Amino acid sequence: MAFIDYYKILGVDKGATEKEIKSAYRKMARKHHPDLNPNNAEAEKQFKQVNEANEVLSDPEKRKKYDKYGENWQHGEAYEQQQRQQQSQQRSYGGGQQDFGGFDFGGSSNGGDFSDFFNSMFGGGPAGSGGGRAQQRYRGQDMNASLQLNLRDILESKKQTITVNGKNIRLTIPAGIENGQTIKIAGHGGPGSNGAPAGDLYIKFAIPDDAEFKRVGSDLYRNINLDLYTAVLGGEITADTLTGKVKLKVAPGTQIGTKVKLKGKGVPVYKKEGQFGDLYITYNVQLPTNLTEKQKELFEELAKS
């Protein structure tokens, strides 16, 4: 896998502060977001790399390892453990060069076991080098991606193809998935080394509220305006839901802030087939404006009575 300079991806230098990294990430994420670059494979690739860079550089421990080991930062602990073992071996044999059946425990030109391990980890030598030592196997790196949907997209389960790291991945999006929820797709992360399994892909869903509907769990909330006459005398109105229009009867004398519940008109309950939330409608009563003199007289008569 080609080395990716995370600092370069975010457009910051190695001395950047946590605040500078956060600000750069937001800027680059907006620039390359798939919603702003539809059907643009290169933008999707850049967006993935921006998220990957932020995941590492925004975490102090991961950033420290990345600064020290570069692209192989995830294997830093294994490397340091091998280094400690090598130093222990050198102390056990007096720290000098001693010949034990052709094995060099220190002082050789190629660094002995230490170099063999380093080469097997970082790709510095030919395959199979290191006195017959097996090459290290490392699971592939996990990857993260985001997918934005609207409320109408989650009314039923559906299949969708997304492109991550240049590969098309077909997945099923369950009905009723929550905003901010993450699902794992096993084996679609970075490739493993020397036959080790690939990492996993984690997709985080962004589902903003609709212009008319606010979502809370599986329930929906919206406001509807009533004219004064319908509120006072009662009547029938038509209201929009996510699945179509419905007719509602308004009781005479309906007050401002009155709520009505439409059972089953919310969004599907996640992974509970056939179950739906409810839709709650709040009435806002609008007072008439620009009254004629006759209308004003009628209201004055009502006030006196």
Over residues 110-140, the pLDDT tens digits come to 333 333 433 443 344 444 444 444 567 888 8
φ and ψ at residue 99, rounded to 5 degrees: -100, 115
Residue type, 250: V
> What does the DSSP 8-state code read for residue 210?
P
**Cα–Cα distance for residue pair 180/203, rounded to 1 Å:** 10
Domains located in the chain, CATH noted: 68-122 (no CATH), 138-208 (2.60.260.20), 214-304 (2.60.260.20)
In sequence order, the 6+-apart residues with CB closer than 8 A to the CB of 98 are 105
Q: pLDDT by residue (tens digit) across 201-257?
A: 999 999 988 889 999 999 999 999 999 989 999 999 999 999 999 999 999 999 999
> Hey, what amino acid is at 276?
F
- Interval 73-97: pLDDT, tens: 666 666 666 666 666 655 554 444 4
In degrees to the nearest 10, what's the CA dihedral of 248, 152, 27, 182? Answer: 120
CA atoms within 13 A on the CB side of 268: 16
pLDDT in tens, 6-55: 899 899 998 999 999 999 999 998 888 887 888 888 888 888 888 888 98
